[in-house]
Amino acid sequence: MGGALPKAITVFEVRENISSKDVYDKLKGFSLARGSLEAFGRKFTLGVRVVELEGGESEVSGVYEEVTPHSLSLDSESVKLPRYIRINFHFTWLRQGIFLLVASGKRNGMRVSSTFSQALFERPDGIMPVYLPPQRLRELYMVDAEPRQVIFTGLREVAGVDTVVLYGKALSQSTLLKRYMQVGQEKYVVFKTEKGLLGASVGGLILAFSKLDEDEFRQFVIEKVIPRVEPLPV
């Protein structure tokens, strides 16, 4: 699992009913100014904007761009420079509900989802993280897949520590895996499928360690992960 950084998708659930047309209309040309910053003799506008927006009957996709100030220490002095992030996103309307897939890790995913929640519903909890229960996470690495790494929690009574990590190519044959599956709860798993090497967490973060193109990776999440998610427990 070394080498290039894996691709990431963080899954969110849209809690309010809204049409793809309304999402498209509200995000088309969306921008949010948050001041400005001077650096290198230039003035940079800080804030967020949505670009490359595309819409269909059951999907809306585009790119979230944000410029934020970033402090850098140079010769014992702190210098503020603009930091530019660009993140692909994809809203999809499915039988299970409406979901937002953000092509980034959890931290940036939360930035995107909270910004869109305010833009679409004028409140912070209109779009929320999903929950992938341990028993459904188990299905990902045990059904048509081979486990490569499993992180269990809740094992203090049987293992002496709360968290245990198991890994290896022959993990599916491990007696420890079978034992911990009976008493522990999966928190994060890495598994091999016909698509390649993938990872998933209970918090809805999905990773692709193998070379998958963006559409193929997103389709895996839509077909294999989203049917297993639940609303975040209160």
Q: Which pTM does this prediction carry? A: 0.90
Domain boundaries, the chain: 7-128, 134-231
pLDDT at residue number 8 = 97
Which residues of the chain carry a pLDDT beneath 70? 1-4, 234
pLDDT at residue number 72 = 76
pLDDT tens digits for range 167-180: 999 898 999 999 99
Distance CA 71, CA 162 (A): 37
pLDDT tens digits for range 3-39: 568 999 999 999 999 999 999 999 999 999 888 777 7
Distance CA 150, CA 165 (A): 6
Contacts of 25 (CB under 8 A, 6+ apart): none
Phi, psi of 201 (to 5 degrees): -120, 165
In sequence order, what E strands does 40-110 have?
42-55, 59-74, 77-94, 97-102
Distance CA 23, CA 229 (A): 22
Residue pair 99/11 in contact (Cβ under 8 Å)? The answer is: yes
Give the single-character DSSP code of 154: S
pLDDT at residue number 83 = 86
DSSP lists the bridge partners of residue 26 as none
